[in-house]
Structure 1
């Protein structure tokens, strides 16, 4: 969606504290000595991570850079993390598809995502483990995106092996902002946000309404209402906030279609086979955060309760399972997630450096009701399974960050996770309880005797949890055949070598080489209601990221990544991992001299993927060009024009290879099934500050 977030139009004041704490807060840290402070000044819109980051692949993206990005949908704000691709294969209300470091992360598995300390990934979800729906995100409120890659942080746990992304919302806005947008394909959006100062604190509110049909023959008719209400007192490093968030949406979906039908003229690229596919969702949350920072210590606590509900109707095989009624199925998921995160840090100065030790506790409980049903035109025909799941986890972690001297520092940590699963299924044989625990150590070595460069060595262990239903399953709910239980927690092991430099004024460059192993890529297949076991895997890769600001009015981003993903051990069908991304690239140019005109262009390369284990069928690469022009009509009033897929490429947003059967076909046919990228579209946004 065309989300207008120009920093000149909306300014945040999350921090009202001395410069030292302001910079530390922007970087998500609690302490740093004066020498470090001299090295982490913000250069343009991207924070210089020298002396701060623990890996070449970790970083922070500031509000200014987030505001300059042109994104089609809210989840694409995560593409500010180098090497991360966000896609979609269905209706706009559905969780996005994510790709990173040789992974097709599906709807979020192995990419831990949080907004204001609340987890977005949903465990044991009806449609897929780690379901990450970011449609409730209001980008205008985002003041920072912190990202990490690899299992090298004791603070990050489940789903964080490939990476972790954290979006931080503002506590206060220095200016109110109202915007209205309109564009092709039935697009319309209105948003208003402001802060009201009270006697002791500040009350922030934001309301958003959106409609989008997309380019599809049957319009998506995506309708969304979104709101945030936040009260805060004090400063972000010494204060607290309480937040209410509410999101509700419904939509139609044009799911992926078989390539053969398009090539034979039976379907157009934007057509659907089942015009009743779609969904509706809501998310309501209450959260609070408290923080105290003293000279030699820092404490943080945040707690949340989230009510999520999704009703999803999909049809990927058409008439293969049921030639009479069709293969549409429903996946309802209703849950309440509650949790608490608390940590305390001690900071000590030594003769040659300093040391910070952090101990933390993380608790989460999910009370889940979900199921799988055969349907026709959204009407239930039969029940494949119904489940009530209670999934609880507790984690403690300890991490020490020590600067031994001016050149060398280390980060050493260990994390212990414990999980309990309780499944009550409509299939009695699939009910039961299980538990598991796992210890995850990590170590980072950082060497930087130079003023403008550092090198990093990282090693660590992480994990992802599997769907609770797979840990107690004995019968495949679809076929009735015996099924094997899966390991509740699957271990990952990673290592990385990297470097970061700012040797040229205005240029920030990072390079990382990594390896990541998984003991197994076990996944719960929501479309079938069962668990699919995969072999052990290994991924190698390289990432090259650059941010260059040669002039005050010009900035250039260039991010390139390549990954090689293979199954380990002898595999009869082949060692390629279907859907594993191999290469990505982004080139963005932004021009803004502070005058009435500004603009940006972003070229995104989404590389090919193997679609079968023997690599005999592959997807095609895609290339998209998006752009934005801004005009400050007068003080406090701005007009923005945005263009998506400017060259009108006819590429795929996603490709799969599997069997399906169209009406009239005598037998199933193995084929590529694709969802097209959106055709060229234009949008205009008028922004008023007050």
Structure 2
């Protein structure tokens, strides 16, 4: 068993470093001889693998089998397998999701770093909000597994990772092809074909996905999505590599958040929209490669990618507040070319009999961005508020070592330095300019144990998030003409955490973590601008508990709960509550398989109350949802699956905001009100899945 533990430990470290190749290795199936593969080994020894190799109580792995049994309404909800993380939506399906974690309303990804196949999903200086993380291009069937870690304690994690980081990687090959076709209520249709073939010394994998969906809304979303993947990989010898091309396109109508008073008065139905012309279109194309080379000098990993994305988004959150005649619809445009290169090297050295595992890395990223903010009516341009050309560059270097000082004590220490250059050319010359900033952050983890399959952790570290490049150079509000202050390019976060992980009970893995995180400046969503802006310093304190129990080989139970207290840390007469910050969140997933031809799963999600205004005088309600699926194996290669969403048919809210808006006939200054986006009503889908 010692060899197995060591092997999985090394692979886990590769995965943490962002290796695409190692992600795919952990998702193989049983071979022809019936010998247990690495995936089975990891499933059976998951708790033991983490104990003795994990650097904190908050990190973990979600295996492909667990992901396959989740019932998700949209691809981004796969991230809810991360303990304490909630994924929701406040507008049309084509938009990036809303994320909540560790006392944060993370908007579209401001402090949650998401990577897919080594590519950063978060987009900096984005037209709709800093850290925009759109996961609509993900094809769930291709994900090998999901890695997560929380807090600013990891030297290889850079921008946007203060609350946490999630990495996903695609498979290099499939045991059999997959042909899937699904139909459902609310205009749902999805088709997928994916297969891999041996070509020479490697494998070619391809996938094509088509999806349409209307949703329950009075104004149909008419969401249409296209996804394609083509990948070549070689997985033999000391050098392994893959080359991957991805393409995504989508367009949709959106039902944005609506005012509670409008529904109460009968002005609009609960599933209606004030401005039915809102919506958007988006596309994303990427080319990436990853290489991993092993030698007597250690293991070197190399990741290079380039991508082009384009978004045109039409929104109206205040209705007739600014323009009583034409309405307040605005368009946000973001076009970019993003390129990045990541290199790291791992080696082991010995000093006086003490083994030291060293990792050094360099991460470079360049973004060439054209974005704009336009006033529109029914998607037709009325005027230009601002247009900007941005060239943003960054270099991150890091070093980390892991030392086993004693049999029951080891340390993980690291340091990371980041350097940022901002070049903004605005249509308003006074808002153009150049900025430079840098930051160095230390990391430290102390791990004690294990004793009786139980390990203790202490973690400290500082990290950062970047601010929108336009905010670092702007001195005049382009809409009002008022003078404004430039924001700091980089904002520091500082975290502390203590935790415990145990597998003392057979089949049960449990972890507990208590944390504190301080931010020098909060990023908050601004309803009337549809973007994020830098705000006051803040602090968060809380705890998380996670339980994964597999009492039988056919039954798994996954439970997590998190509670956080989020406050601004300065004094202000308006109050110290952070609008939208999550307090309590809980999830339970039960999965059944290997009991003959039937299989199934159920997920219950609790989304707790949030303060919506600084003095806590207005709060959201909590939300409870239930999703589930039941499947039947017609044969060895054919399955039929019935999925149900919001089975309780709750009329709760997916998200809530509090701000001023104006409906026709209301005072010119508008009315402060709760604005909410409803949970989608109960719906069913049937999927036929065939392997070939």
Q: TM-score, normalised by structure 1?
A: 0.94
Q: Which residue of 2 aligns with 1:263?
A: 264
Q: d(CA) in 1 for partners of 2:45 and 2:4?
A: 20
Q: d(CA) in 2 for partners of 1:540 and 1:122?
A: 28
How far apart are 1:678 and its partner, in Å?
0.6
- Structure 2 stretches of 5 or more lacking a match? 18-37
Q: Where does 1:236-635 land on structure 2 (aligned, <5 Å)?
A: 238-294=239-295, 297-348=298-349, 354-522=355-523, 528=529, 532-635=533-636
Q: d(CA) in 2 for partners of 1:236 and 1:166?
A: 25
Q: d(CA) in 2 for partners of 1:30 and 1:423?
A: 34
Query: How far does the alpha carbon of each residue in 1:147-193 deviate from its partner, in whole angstroms, 9 at most, with x for none?
Result: 01000000001000000000011111111111000000000000011
The DSSP-based 3-state class of the residue aligned with 2:326 is coil
Distance 1:288 1:408, change over 3 A: same
The DSSP-based 3-state class of the residue aligned with 1:575 is coil
Q: d(CA) in 2 for partners of 1:23 and 1:397?
A: 21
Q: Which residue of 2 aligns with 1:25?
A: 11
How far apart are 1:591 and its partner, in Å?
1.0
How far apart are 1:532 and its partner, in Å?
3.7
Contact 1:30 1:293 survives alignment (8 Å): no
Q: Which residue of 2 aligns with 1:9?
A: none
How far apart are 1:22 and its partner, in Å?
6.3
Distance 1:521 1:18, change over 3 A: closer
The DSSP-based 3-state class of the residue aligned with 2:263 is helix
Distance 1:349 1:175, change over 3 A: farther
The DSSP-based 3-state class of the residue aligned with 1:79 is helix
How far apart are 1:526 and its partner, in Å?
8.9
How far apart are 1:662 and its partner, in Å?
0.6
Q: d(CA) in 2 for partners of 1:512 and 1:236?
A: 40
Q: Which residue of 1 aligns with 2:682?
A: 680
Contact 2:238 2:295 survives alignment (8 Å): no
Q: TM-score, normalised by structure 2?
A: 0.94
The DSSP-based 3-state class of the residue aligned with 2:65 is helix
The DSSP-based 3-state class of the residue aligned with 2:451 is coil
Contact 1:387 1:424 survives alignment (8 Å): yes
Query: How far does the alpha carbon of each residue in 1:34-92 deviate from its partner, in whole angstroms, 9 at most, with x for none?
Result: xxxx9x95245956411121010011111111111111100011111100000000000
Contact 1:26 1:144 survives alignment (8 Å): no
Contact 2:209 2:226 survives alignment (8 Å): yes
How far apart are 1:403 and its partner, in Å?
1.6
Q: Which residue of 2 aligns with 1:208?
A: 209
Distance 1:399 1:198, change over 3 A: same
Q: Which residue of 1 aligns with 2:659?
A: 658
The DSSP-based 3-state class of the residue aligned with 1:130 is coil
Q: Which residue of 2 aligns with 1:198?
A: 199
Distance 1:329 1:424, change over 3 A: same
Residue number among 649, 672, 676 corresponding to 1:670 in the alignment: 672
How far apart are 1:677 and its partner, in Å?
0.5
Q: Which residue of 2 aligns with 1:10?
A: none
Q: d(CA) in 2 for partners of 1:526 and 1:560?
A: 29
Q: Which moved more, 1:98-107 or 1:44-53?
A: 44-53
Contact 2:15 2:147 survives alignment (8 Å): no
Q: d(CA) in 2 for partners of 1:412 and 1:26?
A: 18
Contact 1:478 1:530 survives alignment (8 Å): no
Q: d(CA) in 2 for partners of 1:429 and 1:65?
A: 53
- Structure 1 stretches of 5 or more lacking a match? 1-16, 32-37
Q: d(CA) in 2 for partners of 1:395 and 1:19?
A: 32
The DSSP-based 3-state class of the residue aligned with 1:331 is strand
Q: d(CA) in 1 for partners of 2:107 and 2:177?
A: 37
Query: How far does the alpha carbon of each residue in 1:495-523 deviate from its partner, in whole angstroms, 9 at most, with x for none?
Result: 00000000100000000000000011156
How far apart are 1:234 and its partner, in Å?
2.2
Q: d(CA) in 1 for partners of 2:132 and 2:531?
A: 16
Query: How far does the alpha carbon of each residue in 1:384-405 deviate from its partner, in whole angstroms, 9 at most, with x for none?
Result: 0000000000011000011223
How far apart are 1:335 and its partner, in Å?
0.2
How large is the Cα RMSD of the aligned pairs?
2.1
Q: Where does 1:93-108 land on structure 2 (aligned, <5 Å)?
A: 93-108=94-109
Query: How far does the alpha carbon of each residue in 1:5-43 deviate from its partner, in whole angstroms, 9 at most, with x for none?
Result: xxxxxxxxxxxx999656643563599xxxxxx9x9524
Contact 2:51 2:450 survives alignment (8 Å): no
Query: How far does the alpha carbon of each residue in 1:267-303 deviate from its partner, in whole angstroms, 9 at most, with x for none?
Result: 1110001110000000000000000123551100000
Q: d(CA) in 2 for partners of 1:351 and 1:120?
A: 43
Distance 1:199 1:313, change over 3 A: same
Contact 1:27 1:60 survives alignment (8 Å): no
Q: Where does 1:74-93 land on structure 2 (aligned, <5 Å)?
A: 74-93=75-94
Distance 1:405 1:530, change over 3 A: closer
Q: d(CA) in 1 for partners of 2:477 and 2:423?
A: 18
Contact 1:191 1:206 survives alignment (8 Å): yes
Contact 1:247 1:282 survives alignment (8 Å): yes
The DSSP-based 3-state class of the residue aligned with 1:448 is strand
Contact 2:598 2:632 survives alignment (8 Å): yes
State how many pairs are aligned: 668
Contact 1:126 1:526 survives alignment (8 Å): no
The DSSP-based 3-state class of the residue aligned with 1:616 is coil
Q: d(CA) in 2 for partners of 1:567 and 1:659?
A: 22
The DSSP-based 3-state class of the residue aligned with 1:404 is strand
Q: Which residue of 2 aligns with 1:42?
A: 42
